[in-house]
């Protein structure tokens, strides 16, 4: 027996990752040029990350030579999703935190330490709704755009004195981000926000 790490699949980049990233860079550069993007304040990248309340062990004792190592609690996590946005100018946007549950009772209590401060910064604490899990969905993405991303861009437009300046939102290729439903909603409600995608497997 020896101390072993739990097994998991390694991240694999596309075989032509250099060419894929070069093309993504050229697409972004073309939009920046064509839309005359003034500076990094008009380019925002967002991504979701899982935040686990209490991390389970990554290793345990097991027999030497075994290929699969089981760890208790690795599959059943207690966690929430944190959506983080940052502009190319270095501004960090307010966070959106998504909790499993249908009501606000699943979110942090208003009496929690620093809750008022989080609200002052513009954070969003929201239940995921009918999905039953804590992942972002169509509804939470719309709330993110309406209450966090668009207001940030409005502020940047006011800063340069151009209320019609197009902006860029960079996303990864997750199914919700690239879904026809989300892209159609963006075109109908925020046609001035140009969507750009980080190629799959390259985040």
Angle in degrees, CA 122, 187, 104, rounded to 5: 35
pTM (predicted TM-score): 0.81
pLDDT at 177: 92
Give the model's pLDDT for residue 114.
Answer: 94
Candidates 141, 134, 67; CA nearest to 98 is 134
Residue 184, number of CB atoms within 10 A of its CB: 10
Q: What pLDDT does residue 28 have?
A: 95
| Residue 104, pLDDT score | 87
Model pLDDT, residue 143: 95
What tokens appear for 145 in the block? 């755009």
Pairing of strands 96-99, 124-127: parallel
Segments in the chain below pLDDT 50: none
pLDDT, position 178: 92
Alpha-carbon distance of 80 to 99, in angstroms, equals 5
pLDDT at 188: 97
């Amino acid at each position: 027996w020896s101390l072993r790490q739990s097994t998991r699949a390694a991240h694999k980049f596309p075989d032509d990752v250099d060419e894929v990233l070069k093309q993504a860079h050229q697409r972004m550069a073309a939009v920046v040029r064509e839309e005359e993007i003034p500076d990094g304040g008009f380019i925002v990248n967002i991504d979701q990350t899982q935040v686990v309340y209490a991390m389970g062990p990554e290793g345990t004792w097991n027999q030497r030579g075994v290929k699969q190592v089981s760890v208790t609690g690795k599959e059943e996590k207690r966690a929430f999703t944190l959506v983080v946005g940052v502009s190319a100018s270095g501004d960090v946007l307010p966070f959106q935190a998504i909790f499993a549950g249908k009501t606000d009772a699943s979110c942090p209590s208003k009496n929690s330490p620093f809750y008022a401060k989080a609200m002052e910064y513009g954070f969003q604490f929201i239940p995921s709704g009918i999905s039953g899990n804590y992942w972002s969905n169509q509804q939470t993405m719309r709330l993110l755009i309406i209450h966090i991303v668009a207001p940030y861009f409005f502020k940047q437009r006011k800063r340069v004195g151009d209320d019609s300046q197009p902006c860029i939102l960079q996303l990864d290729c997750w199914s919700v981000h690239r879904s026809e439903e989300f892209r159609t909603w963006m075109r109908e409600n925020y046609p001035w926000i140009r969507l750009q995608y980080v190629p799959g497997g390259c985040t």
